[in-house]
Structure 1
Amino acid sequence: MEDPAEEDAGLKASREALAFLASIEWKELQDCLFADTLVTVSDTGRELGEFSITVQKANYDSQPCFHVHASSHGSIDDIPCGTSITAYISKNLETLEQNHHEYVKLQDYRLDRKSQMVRRGEQLLVNKVVTEREDVKRQILTFPLTSLEGFVSEASNLVILRILAQRKKIPENMVFLSLDNEMHISVSTYQGLGLKKQMVGQESLEVLGIERTVEAIEDVPTKWHCHFLSDGHLVSRVQVGSPVTMRLVQLPAQMGEDDKADKVVFEKKPLVWEEDMQLCSKFLDRKEELKADHASYVRQHPELKALLADFLQFLLLRKPDDVFLFAADCVIW
């Protein structure tokens, strides 16, 4: 198990960033509980896939928290690729657990990156697995929480962006701690891009732009430009230098009576989900989300393994003809 904290000990979050985290109120977090769905398009306007973000209330180790799920799946140059994030964060935006999965699939080549960070006591444990063809590389890192004041994970970042958009103001010198792609402690910054008009469907709307930059210890910085409506809904997202843009194509549903009256009803059409790229991507993404959620529950309840082992041993000793009836009798007993 590696401990990279010493080599990055000089990096710290700014006072402005720490003050921002401390200033976040419960109502602001409540206002972030909604879903965004954008379409991924190429620079020629071709639809390539879908990007979605959902923030919901949840519980982790019996404590109230927030569940963040983000996913991007599609095909670039007919190459399937995607990324998904499933995480639990506290009301202080501390990351309790995060699972991050990225993949690229070629005919005879597969690149798969998985990382999991879990808060354990006074440490943050990070387990990274990279699969390239048949080669599997594993790495386990540990960071003392004392070295991570002002740390922002990818999941926490998604909530921070919504809060900044709703406040309509990005403070100066917003420098947080982050992890780069190689799991080194680095810094991330936020800067305002000002207001501009942007088309959503047939409407021209005023949106606020925010630039997020994540520095890398061994590579060039990565920048994202995101634009938001005043209520925090994401309108567009692009990684600087990428030919792919994520765009909102339809305004989020409103709860007003006028909007309900104007709601368009589409006729249902039968779909074969295995042959539909978006439905198939959603299925795979939901599968990863459930696996991460179930694995998290098992880790939080180690008594499950002992209980199952005892039951299996009892079952093999008795060797009943009806396993289901035997299991039911064991539960009643």
Structure 2
Amino acid sequence: MNPAATAISFLEGPEQVDWSRVCFQERLAAHGLRRPPPGAAPIGFQVMSVEQSERDGSPTFTVLVHRNYHLGGVEVRSELMAVIERDLQTIQQHWKQTAVWPDRQQWRQLHLVRERHQFAVQTQQGATGHEPVERLYRLNRSKMRFLYSEGALVVLQRLVAVRDHQEPVHGTAMEICGRIYPFTIEHQGWKPLAVAGALRCVRLAKTLARGNYGNESFAHLTPEGTLVAQAVHAWPVRVEALHLLRERPPLDWELDLQLVSVFTDRKLELRALFERYLREHPDVRRLLADFLQAVLVWKPEDVTEFAENFFTSYSVTYKSGEQNDQEAALNAALASVHGDWDESWLEPKAFTE
């Protein structure tokens, strides 16, 4: 079976999509892989947006991603702009990344434009004191029918979230540096997360991209498809929402009163269930007792943020073994930034004419 078959069947499914829910605008803070202490300054930021647009009378999406990080004395800037059709086929995409040291800088970029029967691809790279290296080649459009760009993956991840899709979505994508790799977007369940000062239930979506970096990312998205946190294991940063640019939905007091009424009617039954659960799980009772004691001692102003930081050490996502793996990934990523400039990424590996 073609690796893109599930992605194509997902996009061509009978379910109607409110395309306005796929659109978003987000500004997120970037941190190192380890969770910073409260009040720690971020190492950079990330701004992402997807807006509905039009090209030659047909509806399209315009994807913009801007990142700026400071990693070990190196400033890394990247920009991505893509125009995507509703079937997630790419019309054009431009990407540029620049690494700036105090005495030198290196950069590389990829520009892809759809023509009548093919895609024209231009790759460039350069460094201070070196002549720029440029490559031009073309990709067959019939083969690109099963290939998704990085900009298209941004839209696809949101589309999976707003559709509440439970089955894994597989496909084939092209890295921003030009290589081809398979990917999988998989639903990992729901979890509570502090978002814009309020506790919300968000989707945990896992994206496995077996590409040049072999990276694995975990994205936390609201039911509306808004990204509020993301960690990429092969990249030395993770991002968290500074604030949501989308307006928060109004409080539903009627629903809250209904929940209170249900709890009041079943108070004795629920209390018995809670007590039985705590008897069967003494570790949970001890954990809650420690948390309440910490609240009384520290008297935090923002209890939600305090709880998030308190329970981080008990989280499966940030257990010590994975922290060691993340530190190794961080060191490898920094080594790739500081190391020799590699021209191998310019070689088109597949789907070339």
- Note whether the superposition's TM-score is higher than 0.5: yes
Aligned counterparts of 2:15 and 2:24: Cα–Cα separation in 1: 17
Q: Which residue of 2 aligns with 1:56?
A: 51
Q: Which residue of 1 aligns with 2:28?
A: 38
From 222, 229, 251, give the equivalent of 2:222: 229
Matched, 1:145 2:141: yes
From 112, 137, 154, give the equivalent of 2:150: 154
Give 2:55's aligned amino acid: Y
RMSD of aligned alpha carbons: 2.4
Q: Which residue of 2 aligns with 1:117?
A: 112
From 84, 91, 97, give the equivalent of 1:89: 84
Q: What are the superposed Cα offsets for residues 31-80 of structure 1, whole Å, 9 maximum, x if unpaired?
A: 11221111112333431221111111223345432211111113223422
Deviation at 1:257, TM superposition (A): 6.4
Q: Which residue of 2 aligns with 1:179?
A: 174
Q: Which residue of 2 aligns with 1:254?
A: 247
Normalised by the length of structure 2, the TM-score is 0.64
Give aligned pairs, total.
246
Q: What are the superposed Cα offsets for residues 260-304 of structure 1, whole Å, 9 maximum, x if unpaired?
A: xxxxxxxxxxxxxxxxxxxxxxxxxxxxxxxxxxxxxxxxxxxxx
Aligned counterparts of 1:181 and 1:100: Cα–Cα separation in 2: 7
Matched, 1:129 2:124: yes
Counterpart mapping for 1:1-333 below 5 A: 12-23=2-13, 27-42=17-32, 43=34, 44=36, 45-133=40-128, 134-172=130-168, 174-180=169-175, 182-216=177-211, 219-254=212-247
Distance 1:33 1:116, change over 3 A: same
Q: Report if the CA contact (8 A) 1:13-1:149 is conserved.
A: no
Local SS of the residue matching 2:147: coil
Distance 1:235 1:68, change over 3 A: same
Q: What are the superposed Cα offsets for residues 216-266 of structure 1, whole Å, 9 maximum, x if unpaired?
A: 3xx44122211101111111112114442100133454365679xxxxxxx
Give 1:206's aligned amino acid: C
Local SS of the residue matching 1:17: helix
Deviation at 1:159, TM superposition (A): 0.9
Give 1:138's aligned amino acid: E
Q: Which residue of 2 aligns with 1:318?
A: none
Aligned counterparts of 2:82 and 2:25: Cα–Cα separation in 1: 15
Give 1:209's aligned amino acid: L
Distance 1:126 1:247, change over 3 A: same
Gaps of 5+ in 1: 1-10, 260-333
Normalised by the length of structure 1, the TM-score is 0.67
Deviation at 1:202, TM superposition (A): 3.5
Aligned counterparts of 1:109 and 1:194: Cα–Cα separation in 2: 45
Local SS of the residue matching 2:126: strand
Q: Report if the CA contact (8 A) 1:114-1:130 is conserved.
A: yes
Give 2:219's aligned amino acid: C
Give 1:232's aligned amino acid: G
Deviation at 1:18, TM superposition (A): 1.4
Distance 1:24 1:104, change over 3 A: farther
Aligned counterparts of 1:25 and 1:252: Cα–Cα separation in 2: 28
Local SS of the residue matching 1:250: strand
Q: Report if the CA contact (8 A) 1:125-1:141 is conserved.
A: yes
Q: What are the superposed Cα offsets for residues 169-189 of structure 1, whole Å, 9 maximum, x if unpaired?
A: 2423x2212123552332222
Aligned counterparts of 1:206 and 1:257: Cα–Cα separation in 2: 16
Local SS of the residue matching 1:85: strand
Aligned counterparts of 2:14 and 2:84: Cα–Cα separation in 1: 14
Q: Report if the CA contact (8 A) 1:87-1:97 is conserved.
A: yes
Q: Report if the CA contact (8 A) 1:16-1:171 is conserved.
A: no
Of all paired residues, the percent bearing the same amino acid is 17
Aligned counterparts of 2:18 and 2:250: Cα–Cα separation in 1: 25
Give 1:137's aligned amino acid: V
Deviation at 1:209, TM superposition (A): 1.4
Give 1:60's aligned amino acid: R
Distance 1:14 1:65, change over 3 A: closer
Deviation at 1:94, TM superposition (A): 0.7
Q: Report if the CA contact (8 A) 2:149-2:175 is conserved.
A: no
Give 1:154's aligned amino acid: E
